[in-house]
Chains A and B, each alone.
Chain A
Amino acid sequence: MTNKEMTTNPEGTQGVFPSIMKETAANDLTRPFWEAARDNRFVCARCTNCGTFRLPPAPFCYECQHRDIEWVELPGTGTVYSFTIVRHPLAKMLQPSVPYASGIIEIDGTQGAGARMICNIVDVDVDQLKIGDKVEIVWEHVNDEMSVPRFRPVDA
């Protein structure tokens, strides 16, 4: 399953935003996501009452106000909904990383809004990235607790 994983250079890599948060700060509501992530699996919370996906998981469904969720495994593919190319490093430590792409991904198998992912998009020519591009998830296992999701273009 190595094709679903990525490693990063501790000195920084152009195009890759370094993982500045190295703990999941998980609670019961979010923990299943991070546990699945450790196994390179992408799961999303779905309302058991009306089927609306919530990501990040929220304590209530915004459509029917129901609380209970079930975790559904999805392929981890999606579409670039919008993005930015960050060229100015907000901090010195980001100098090796710029330019990098960050975007909003609409996840295949969900309703879209309400389950969007906000992620670094890697392995991409930042001058070629477009809204509508197909992408797939790739995991960086930072430590035993934290696996960071990123997306990369799906090879044509």
Chain B
Amino acid sequence: MTIKDKAAIVGVGATKYWKRGQSFPETELSMACTAILSALEDAGLSITDLDGFSIYSSSCDPAEVASVLGVPEVRWATTTTSGGGGCAGALGVAAAAINAGMATCVVSLMTLQQLNKRLGGSEVGGMLAYATASEGSSPYGGSGIPPTAAFTANSGMLSPGHSFSVLAQRHMYLYGTKREHFAEVCMSQRENARKRPDTAVQTDELTLDDYFNARMISDPLCLFDYTQETDGAVAVITVSADRAKDLKQPPVYIMSSAHGGTGRWGPAIFKYFQAPEEEFASSGHRPVAKRLYEMAGITPQDVDVALLYDHFSPLVIMQLEDYGFCPIGEGGNFVAEGNIRYGTGSIPVNTHGGNLSEAYIIGMTHVREAVEQMRGTAVNQVKDAEVALVTGGPASLPVSGTLLHR
């Protein structure tokens, strides 16, 4: 027994997307509540229907949200561990809770305001805190600096961008991947974003010259290879497949969902980079992809549109490989041949513009776009699209993926 087709996404809601810090005087709490109410309304439901939270990266405090919004009874409240990698997986947890009878109407969401904080730190105190943080630190207070921190804190690798630069460098070394390939990911997604000025934060044209004239941040990554930093909130509502039939929107069924990864990937990219040789220059998604296709009973050829977590452009290339759209090591040439372009490519990728050009709400913009593609209402609608892949991560485990169909 699996969760295949047992639940469906029936509502999507979001705030507008702002450049970093510009959502003030909204707060992460107010934006979360706005997105939830909007998603419920989209579904034709109300706050009295909501009884579950299936989130990731502890994106909000369900206690606070439920109290502020007056949720009558919370019956389910979970978060996947670690960070943004759990994004797509939170949908599977929602489906599992509903299928098990533990909850009936579950919200998954992210709310993000980078006003007083920035991922990766931007001053020395922040760098040291980042370098010495324990994973999953306890609200009761940690036991101080973990003894292993001293092995990495003075390495100079202090941000997610530095970590992913190292993976990208190894991918280039092993497979001949080039910066032109990263550029194609950035330009393809920018073209998609330019067609949706209502949501996209970056809408200027991006040429190959622009790309190669951009400043290098951490070789081999330049400014455009890094995600933007933005504010906003996105929420989606999941209910049982039976109940979904009677609601306002066409149901978008959860075909399969998986989160996790190889144990030795662990916190690899943010700590000690101890992933095994065969998985190092990858997105870490291969085990998740295998389970995802098995549960859904489909192959990569059946996927019509892919919403791939793109905090850094090379990770799109690695996910194309790990999700089987091309052989391992051939992702660079695959994108160079135009395969991810909307309208002409064999597998349109990040039709919304992605983190790189639309907005970075830690993966939830990808979920929103996947749902709109399956409803047939996307701005860059893939014609006759029936199956969408949406992914979260890589980051520390878990990374995740979900397949949706209309």
Contact = CB atoms under 8 A, between A and B. Distances in A.
A109 interface: no
Interface in B77-133: 120-124, 126-128, 131-132
A19 B150 contact: no
Contact of B151 (A81, A112, A118): A118
A83 B220 CA distance: 9
Contacts of A58: 148
B216 A87 contact: yes
Given A21-B131, A90-B158, A113 B150 contact: no
Contact of B156 (A17, A62, A92, A112): A17
Contact of B170 (A24, A82, A113): A82
A85 B219 contact: yes
B169 A118 contact: no
B162 A102 contact: yes
Interface residue SS majority, chain A: loop
A23 B157 CA distance: 18
Contacts of B120: 90
Contacts of B169: 82-84, 131
A135 B163 CA distance: 20
Interface in B219-258: 219-221
Contacts of B157: 84, 86, 102, 118
A107 interface: no
Interface residues of A, number: 49
Contacts of A23: 145, 150
A36 interface: no
A117 B280 CA distance: 15
A52 to B, nearest CB: 11
A56 B154 contact: no
Contact of A20 (B122, B124, B215, B281): B124
B156 A85 contact: no
Interface in B368-383: none
B198 interface: no
Interface in B154-198: 154-159, 162, 165-167, 169-170, 173
Most buried by B among A21, A33, A62: A21
B389 to A, nearest CB: 28
Contacts of A118: 151-152, 155, 157, 272-273
Tell me which of B122, B126, B151, B275 has the highest count of chain A C-beta atoms within 10 A of its own C-beta.
B151
A21 B150 contact: yes
21 contacts: A17-B154, A20-B124, A20-B128, A21-B131, A21-B145, A23-B150, A30-B150, A56-B147, A56-B151, A62-B263, A83-B166, A84-B166, A84-B218, A87-B215, A90-B122, A90-B127, A93-B124, A100-B156, A104-B166, A113-B277, A118-B155
Given A82-B167, A104-B273, 17 more contacts: A20-B131, A21-B132, A25-B146, A27-B147, A30-B148, A30-B150, A56-B147, A57-B148, A84-B220, A84-B221, A86-B217, A113-B275, A113-B276, A118-B272, A118-B273, A132-B173, A146-B150
Interface of B: 120-124, 126-128, 131-132, 144-159, 162, 165-167, 169-170, 173, 215-221, 263-264, 272-277, 280-281
List the 10 closest A-B pairs by CB distance, nearest first: A17-B156, A84-B165, A21-B153, A102-B156, A85-B219, A82-B170, A56-B151, A56-B148, A25-B145, A118-B155
